[in-house]
Structure 1
């Protein structure tokens, strides 16, 4: 029996926070002891002990694949450093987003997106943390029909998001699209505007949400991305969405909550004090209790960074932690196994110290196995990585 004892920890459960100790046996949490500390085990020196963060949407993979637009790196290399980066930021479950779209301003075709997804599928089991795929599917193209069958066979694909590509309809204005297209395609603004008008007319005539829902309804969590209007939210709900991801307006966020959808916003938005592109402020939405989940979006460190800022602003630690852990686990239906510190759940755990509005992560466990460590002064019980007999365990607790 492999045993760890984390002691002298500021533990945050789904409903409480207190000093105490957590016992782990064979990767499972077997005891949570409030007010008890021990001379043996791993002394975390009063730091926070929380469940591992569950990041349901990150574009961080793109940063490792293309640190510069013309400098590409192979997927195994990129995945290795994405994985290590996630662990160091206290993220134990990662959903990497891949777009499947005909958008001419994108530099990845459907074939390339499929190949990338298959490579991630093959690599995921050799990583430090848990890895899944988050497919952002354009419902306004018939090209998707060539790929639906292969996508349903991806073992790691567990989230499918309707990612509407009609210019000017959601996150970005038509003026922003014109600028992006003219730069990306190296054409004039007038040429880009004409192409976008033609594209909008063409895409508006196609809506394959029904086919996408049918293909994935028994396999994946469905959601809608960048809902801007009440009608966007209603449409997503009608096609099986249980998540409104990154709503861009307060009206859309309010409607999503009214209809019982989970609402996810970006942690960078909260940490920075607003959206980088002028959309809905996470802080404003949080003040109306419209946010259930925070994701890293494009910046891993802001998940725990935002958690620290929330607690420092007076939010109850359990509420802040749940938005990074238990709530996404509930959305994903993973909450019987991960997402909170409870007896019987897997020991996906993070130890960190909060200072200067950031989280300094010192220890990360996945399935009760230490995957990341930065605090070299912690006292480790030599039995922690060995087979521990019951009689030895009793000695450990003396």
Structure 2
């Protein structure tokens, strides 16, 4: 699916959304790059988009979607390559042309298959890319569960991987950050993981003990590795208090993923961190964990990047909904394109601008819902 040849072409009568404007005009593509953007004029040749939106291909920096294909049921492991192919197809069909696959290293559940599948998962992504069968561009976002006892040994082999674009530091221990409310945690694990209330009670003591033993030490070692061996962007995860943000800033964190409170988001903004919120949160109208809503943060201008998290199709939908929170359409679309591309170090994409990659999507609003009608990467149609 990777482009090998390029065709020059033009698209006319499109509502082109740039980083700052919406232009009714014509887009020309040459050699896989955007050659020009012009207002429509009579007699212009090209494919007529009939007033549909032409948006930049979306850039996703944190999606758990691959994991859903690898583990379609608790403790059920699906073959890796078919899972990767299915994941990629869903990503591309959602209008995402570049994706940082958020792969967890470690888990709060000692029985989880995550750690067992880690190497196979990364290998499967590389194998599919090498075979040229992936539609989207895939990179790595390693999510490090700090309470994992052997976390450093598991992470170190991936530190120099050229596909690694982001590392996030997570602590999902009950009573911490996202799960400050134990009742919400209990509802989540009994529902998604199928734990009985008896198992939850047994696990609480174990998880808290693991947190005390490993989180602080693992965090110090990981920060040292990322600073000394490679300058990979760092994200904090589920910041809840101002102190959580202060800790991340001191460690060189540049992104605050899914802050759980308005206070944490405001503190992140004061310290120049990019703020990421979940697109499902915005589409649903609130957090499934009972935390601050993406809409509330947007209304305070405290949302820079949207992530599809666990629903790829939510990314575009949520971006359009941000217009209800006071964002212009260009600013809303930047949360799923320009901003994530910038913070992931992908400077050749993320907006409709001359000289950048011709990664773009055709979108039509139907009853207020943005529908992806076509997807192009480097000027070649992939969906």
Same fold per superposition (TM over 0.5): yes
Q: Map Cα deviations across residues 325-362 of structure 1 (whole Å, 9 max, x no partner).
A: 11111111223x10111110000001110122322111
State the secondary structure of the residue aligned to 1:147.
helix
Q: Which of 259, 270, 276 is the aligned partner of 1:247?
A: 259
1:94 to 2:123 alignment: no
Q: Distance in 1 between matches of 2:205 and 2:126?
A: 39
CA contact (8 A) 1:98 1:136 kept: yes
Contact 2:28 2:35 survives alignment (8 Å): yes
- Of 263, 272, 296, the residue aligned with 1:284 is 296
Quick one: structure 1 residues 201 and 166, their matched pair in 2 at CA, closer, same or farther if it must change by over 3 Å? same
User: 1:265 aligns to what?
Assistant: 277
Q: Distance in 1 between matches of 2:200 and 2:95?
A: 43
Alpha-carbon distance in 2 for matches of 1:193, 1:71: 24
- CA change 1:148–1:246 in 2 (3 A) is same
Tell me which residue corresponds to 2:268: 256
Query: Alignment partner for residue 225 of structure 2, among 209, 215, 218?
Result: 215
Match of 2:71 among 41, 61, 66: 66
Q: 2:249 aligns with which of 218, 226, 237?
A: 237
Question: For residues 215-250 of structure 1, what are the alpha-carbon distances to aligned partners after superposition, in whole Å with 9 as ceiling and x for unaligned?
Answer: 334342210111111111111121121000011111
2:177 alignment partner, SS class: coil
Q: What residue number does 1:45 align with? A: 50
What per-residue deviation string (whole Å, max 9, x for no partner) do you get for residues 134-163 of structure 1? 111123445122233311243322110001
Figure out how many residues of one structure are paired with residues of the other and give that number. 370
Tell me the TM-score normalised to structure 1 length. 0.86
In 1: Cα distance, 2:78 partner to 2:306 partner: 29
Q: Which runs of 5+ in 1 are unaligned?
A: 373-398
Q: Check 1:303–1:190 CA distance in 2 against 1; reply closer, same or farther (3 A cut).
A: closer
Question: Alpha carbons of 1:224 and 1:314: their partners in 2 closer, same or farther (altered >3 Å)?
Answer: closer
What are the residue-to-residue correspondences of 1:328-367 with 2, within 5 Å? Answer: 328-335=340-347, 337-367=348-378
Say yes or no: does 1:114 pair with 2:119.
Answer: yes
Match in the other structure for 1:391: none
Deviation digits for residues 110-154 of structure 1 (CA, Å, limit 9, x no counterpart): 343233223223323421111111111123445122233311243
Deviates more, 1:268-277 or 1:36-45: 36-45
Matched, 1:194 2:205: yes
3-state SS of the aligned residue for 1:133? strand
Q: Tell whether 2:377 aligns with 1:370.
A: no
**CA offset at residue 187 of structure 1?**
4.3
The normalised TM-score by structure 2 is 0.89
Tell me the secondary structure at the aligned position of residue 77 of structure 2.
coil
SS at match of 1:324: coil
Indicate the residue corresponding to 1:148 in structure 2.
Answer: 155
What is the CA RMSD across the aligned residues, in angstroms? Answer: 2.3
Aligned partners of 1:77, 1:11: CA distance in 2, in Å?
A: 35
Match of 1:384 in 2: none
Deviations 1:161-187 (A, max 9, x none): 001243311111334445638954884
Q: Which residue pairs with 1:389 in the alignment?
A: none
The answer as to whether partners of 1:60 and 1:82 remain within 8 angstroms in 2 is yes
